[in-house]
Structure 1
Amino acid sequence: MEPLGSLILGWVGYLVLILLGVVLVAFVSFVLYVQYIHQKFDHIPGPPRDNFLLGHLPTILSYTRTPGRHINEIFLEWTETYGPVCRINSLHTAFVIVSCPEATKEILMSPKISKDPLSYKRLHSLFGTRFLGTGLVTAVDHEVWYKQRRIMDPAFSSVYLRGLIDTFNERAERLMTKLSEFADREEPVHMHKLINSFTMDVITKIAFGVDLDLLNTQDSPFPQAIETCLKGMVCHTRDPFFQLWSKNKKAVREIKEACQLLRKTGAMWINERKKAVQSGQEVPMDILTQILKSAEENKTDDDEEIMLDNFVTFFIAGQETTANQIAFAIMALGRHPEILQRLKEEVDDVLGVKQDISNEDLGRLTYLNQVLKETLRLYPTAPGTTRRIAKDMVINGIRVPGNCGLLFSSFVSSRLDRFFKDPLTFDPERFNMNAPKPYYCYFPFALGPRSCLGQNFSQIEAKVAMAKLLQRFDFSLVPGQSFEILDTGTLRPESGVMCTLKLRGTA
């Protein structure tokens, strides 16, 4: 037995040495590849790396994990310091922050330059559970995206949206009723929370034909599920070590359960709509109908999953960013009483005491339109987009190697003083029809063929809600709250915008 035992120990030792050798070779190969990436990109200006292997990742993680800070701030600081083409290293990859209008125009307007696979494929699944998959936002291949977009377009056409004005009005009236209850009780209002319920009610009714009535429902799981998914999205895309820490096991489990809840809900609503179509019932040409149509016209082995991809995409994107924009607008107006007063005067002139807002009324609310645009300049709720160039490109006189990811940040560009005078000042006059139009430095809904499909939907919703709020209420911000930005993948007010309300015309 002793010789056999010695032989086994010898083989075990031999295997351990082989394993250590493989690990050593892999590590040396990784180090050499990182060195190669450094040599390939180091001619591009950028901040000093935190260390050789991790690049700038420690700083990025610090801004991601620290309350009161967000990653867009450091991107802005680096751009101001190192210029319109700024290199960032993360482990074995490099990407470039671009704030050059000419390059922004050339790249974002081109259908031939794809979204960055490294960025958007991270949204396919969260910790192994399918999330946005290959829906409209995350589809990298232009042809795959175009087939979906072409079928979805009718649900967002100006003609179709104009026909929805009564629904926008009805849902906004529910919000006003809820706000009146707070005003009667003289109780501070968490505006972002209520508006988030309003926008979710709107998207589920208009897009899916479902009445959730979240303004009057306390136990709905959907708001928390969406917030959990958004937090999971940040952790999954920015922190490669998040899942490795045992302290995050509970969070990872909750994120996966939230994804599953949204997808199970989508499957249930899609099946209900299928049955309605098969039984000959009349159904609206809404987003859910278009999702079914997309699956019919593009038969694949994965069509059920792609339908759910687009369901989750519209469920989240269709309410989150609009709610954030409205909340930021209220926050900004509360800090600028002279702008608020001018806006009230416009709303009074256009609407008077009428309850229902028409499409024509929306067209006449020009200063409100300026306020909403300025809100998105200073607080772009979807702060940026990425692309990947296949070949070398010269940007602002600097050669950027091919197969490089590019970040176009509306947050960064909108806060640069070379594009906007006193950029941190909230000034709606920047968007007066007679003011110079920003040249490819303002793109809160992205630009070109991959621009946001729902931007008109979003702005109609925001205008109706804001107009009714300004028509009915005087509001002021509760003293002592933060005016900082919270990064949850989208940007939202950190404080939630706490307000006191009273009906206009009351003492």
Structure 2
Amino acid sequence: MSATQPALPAHVPLATEPLGIMGSLKAARSNLLSILPELAVRQPMVSGRTGIRWHMVMEPGAIRRILLEEVDNYPKSNATKNILRPAIGDSLFIAEDAHWRWQRRTAAPVFSHRNVMALAPIMSAAAQRSADRLGATGDHAVDLLEEMVRTTFDVISDVTFSGEGTFDSAAVHRAIDGYIAAAGKVSILDMLGMPDWLPRPSRFRSGPVVKQMRHVADEAIEARMQRGQGDIPDLLDLLLAGEDPETKRRMNTSELRDNLLTFIVAGHETTALTLAWALYLCAFDQDVQERARREIDEVVTGEMVTGEDAQNLPFLRCIVDEALRLYPPAGIISRTAQKTDMLCARDVHPGDTVMIPIYALHRHKQLWEEPDAFRPDRFADRKAIDRYAYLPFGDGPRICIGASFAIQEAVIILATLLRRFRFNLVPGRPPSPVMILTLRPDTGVWLTLDPV
């Protein structure tokens, strides 16, 4: 490494040789990213067969076709549904066609700009509690992933079940972790394209924690129905009041529960990962960290970072965006083709699995300059970035409904922590990106911190 070539932040070496069925299964069960071929960051599309025909698509025009122009031809893949449906039912994340559309119309107002801004004080308060906990750790190295998981779960618990004394957030948190550990690994039956009715062992292992998770959520929903709405409506209040403007349909208890669990599972895990990776990157590049702190000092004047402050911290937002580029929580998304199509001049057959490897797309050598480098300024001019080259929240009609919520939360928490502490790497303890359901640092993000 030359004096002018800085070290790159943590990344995954991609496969340079074909893995075969058993090799792919072994790799997928330990780290899904390791099944990605190195060609995925050089070519527009890579195809193959491991029991079922599959295609990896990295060309923005073809991705636009999958996610927007021919979205009905590319529903969520069978493997995705098999893993997630036991926990979150036919909620927004899983549902298709008319059942998805009415739920989306009902839930969309919940995440309006006004409602997201109204929930900012909860995010600010959770960020302050996190900073206070970190301030009490002394000079010991701290796993920032663990702390960010706790902080974002505090947020999602408070904005979902505020004031609901019957809601056991710790039980739900344990159940989520247990479910991911039990059900998150790919089955060889899925890789071979076996029918859904054949039992997957992971479903039996995850059954008890799913039952617990659903029971706790059902109890909280029933209690809220009895108690009524509080002074400031939270997510549960807003969903209870929600109505599809076209059909006038409202969610019943099971539909409310499935969507709430979707928001809880997705809402805290993905933001926690974004924050942990962002703090690692700030520790990796101290110049970026200091520049971010200067921006915070210029903008934030009160005791806490507010929702209004978050809208006026563009460089902080660039750091969050770059963390999402380098370490997208959903590192791979997959679809199952319903009819014959053509992508990148290649035939796609009904039943083929079509993957968009977001991790590879975000590091593609034809789409990004120095793709493995940490450069937040690449997001200073968003118009210069192809819309379908950067997909941390997906796109098209199924773009993540909570994207604005997640970004606001991440900026508020990141600004709060950088305002209080300088973060430093721990020698010999670099994080390693590993993806099972989400892209996690395998042993956490260990940093030291100094008050500023």
Answer whether contact 1:380 1:444 (CA < 8 A) is retained: yes
Q: Corresponding residue for 1:109?
A: 68
1:264 aligns with 2:188: no
- Written as runs of structure 1 = structure 2, the 5 A alignment for 1:261-300 is 261-277=212-228, 282=230, 284-293=232-241, 298=249
- Residue 57 of structure 1, CA deviation: 2.8
1:57-100 CA deviation, whole Å, 9 max, x = no partner?
3122221344xxx222332424247x322223232x22211111
- Written as runs of structure 1 = structure 2, the 5 A alignment for 1:482-493 is 482-493=430-441
2:91 counterpart SS class: coil
Answer whether contact 2:116 2:405 (CA < 8 A) is retained: yes
1:28-78 CA deviation, whole Å, 9 max, x = no partner?
xxxxxxxxxxxxxxxxxx99976xxxxx43122221344xxx222332424
1:386 counterpart SS class: strand
Alignment equivalent of 1:398, drawn from 339, 346, 353: 346
Check 1:76–1:466 CA distance in 2 against 1; reply closer, same or farther (3 A cut).
farther
Of residues 420-429 and 286-295 in structure 1, the stretch that sits farther from structure 2 once superposed is: 286-295
**Residue identity in the other structure for 1:72:** L
1:196 aligns with 2:149: yes
**Residue identity in the other structure for 2:108:** D
Check 1:114–1:291 CA distance in 2 against 1; reply closer, same or farther (3 A cut).
farther
Q: C-alpha separation between the residues in 1 aligned to 2:91 and 2:149?
A: 23
Answer whether contact 1:96 1:406 (CA < 8 A) is retained: yes
- Residue 311 of structure 1, CA deviation: 2.2
Q: Corresponding residue for 1:33?
A: none
1:74 aligns with 2:74: no
Q: C-alpha separation between the residues in 1 aligned to 2:388 and 2:250?
A: 38
Answer whether contact 2:164 2:220 (CA < 8 A) is retained: no
1:466 counterpart SS class: helix
Q: C-alpha separation between the residues in 2 aligned to 1:299 and 1:330?
A: 41
Q: C-alpha separation between the residues in 1 aligned to 2:432 and 2:327?
A: 10
1:350-369 CA deviation, whole Å, 9 max, x = no partner?
125x2122333222211111
Q: Corresponding residue for 1:143?
A: 98
**Residue identity in the other structure for 2:50:** S
Check 1:332–1:239 CA distance in 2 against 1; reply closer, same or farther (3 A cut).
farther
Answer whether contact 1:283 1:289 (CA < 8 A) is retained: no
1:337 aligns with 2:298: no
Check 1:380–1:417 CA distance in 2 against 1; reply closer, same or farther (3 A cut).
same
- Residue 412 of structure 1, CA deviation: 1.2
**Residue identity in the other structure for 2:151:** F
Q: C-alpha separation between the residues in 1 aligned to 2:291 and 2:447?
A: 20
Answer whether contact 2:66 2:74 (CA < 8 A) is retained: no
- Residue 480 of structure 1, CA deviation: 1.2
Alignment equivalent of 2:80, drawn from 88, 104, 120: 120
Q: Corresponding residue for 1:37?
A: none
1:228 aligns with 2:181: no
Among the aligned pairs, what percent are the same residue?
Answer: 25
Q: Corresponding residue for 1:497?
A: 445
Q: Corresponding residue for 1:94?
A: 53
Check 1:255–1:482 CA distance in 2 against 1; reply closer, same or farther (3 A cut).
farther
Check 1:358–1:304 CA distance in 2 against 1; reply closer, same or farther (3 A cut).
closer
Q: Corresponding residue for 2:271?
A: 322
Q: CA-atom RMSD, angstroms?
A: 2.9
Greater C-alpha Rg: 1
Q: Corresponding residue for 1:84?
A: 44
Check 1:497–1:48 CA distance in 2 against 1; reply closer, same or farther (3 A cut).
closer
2:431 counterpart SS class: coil
Q: C-alpha separation between the residues in 1 aligned to 2:18 and 2:418?
A: 49
Q: What are the ranges of 5 or more consecutive residues in structure 1 without an aligned counterpart? A: 1-45, 51-55, 242-247
1:481 counterpart SS class: coil
Check 1:49–1:72 CA distance in 2 against 1; reply closer, same or farther (3 A cut).
closer
TM-score (norm 1): 0.77
Q: Corresponding residue for 2:196?
A: none
Check 1:390–1:252 CA distance in 2 against 1; reply closer, same or farther (3 A cut).
closer
TM-score (norm 2): 0.86
- Written as runs of structure 1 = structure 2, the 5 A alignment for 1:435-446 is 436-446=384-394
Q: Corresponding residue for 2:427?
A: 479
Check 1:154–1:237 CA distance in 2 against 1; reply closer, same or farther (3 A cut).
farther
**Residue identity in the other structure for 2:221:** I
Check 1:194–1:157 CA distance in 2 against 1; reply closer, same or farther (3 A cut).
same
Of residues 389-398 and 418-427 in structure 1, the stretch that sits farther from structure 2 once superposed is: 389-398
Q: C-alpha separation between the residues in 1 aligned to 2:125 and 2:176?
A: 24
1:383 counterpart SS class: coil
Q: C-alpha separation between the residues in 2 aligned to 1:482 and 1:399?
A: 42
Answer whether contact 1:295 1:307 (CA < 8 A) is retained: no
What is the aligned length? 425
Check 1:239–1:228 CA distance in 2 against 1; reply closer, same or farther (3 A cut).
farther
Q: Corresponding residue for 1:386?
A: 334
Q: Corresponding residue for 1:39?
A: none
Q: C-alpha separation between the residues in 2 aligned to 1:145 and 1:118?
A: 16
Query: Highest relative contact order (Cα 8 Å, sep 6+), 1 or 2?
Result: 2
Q: C-alpha separation between the residues in 2 aligned to 1:206 and 1:377?
A: 27
Q: Corresponding residue for 1:131?
A: 87
Q: C-alpha separation between the residues in 1 aligned to 2:17 and 2:317?
A: 42
Answer whether contact 1:122 1:237 (CA < 8 A) is retained: no
**Residue identity in the other structure for 1:107:** I
Check 1:378–1:363 CA distance in 2 against 1; reply closer, same or farther (3 A cut).
same
**Residue identity in the other structure for 1:77:** E
1:309-368 CA deviation, whole Å, 9 max, x = no partner?
21221111010000000000011111111111111111111125x212233322221111
Check 1:236–1:74 CA distance in 2 against 1; reply closer, same or farther (3 A cut).
closer
Answer whether contact 1:123 1:138 (CA < 8 A) is retained: no
Q: Corresponding residue for 1:309?
A: 258
1:399 counterpart SS class: strand
**Residue identity in the other structure for 2:255:** I
1:362 aligns with 2:315: no
1:112 counterpart SS class: helix
Check 1:147–1:345 CA distance in 2 against 1; reply closer, same or farther (3 A cut).
same
- Residue 474 of structure 1, CA deviation: 1.5
**Residue identity in the other structure for 1:423:** P
**Residue identity in the other structure for 1:143:** A
**Residue identity in the other structure for 1:89:** R
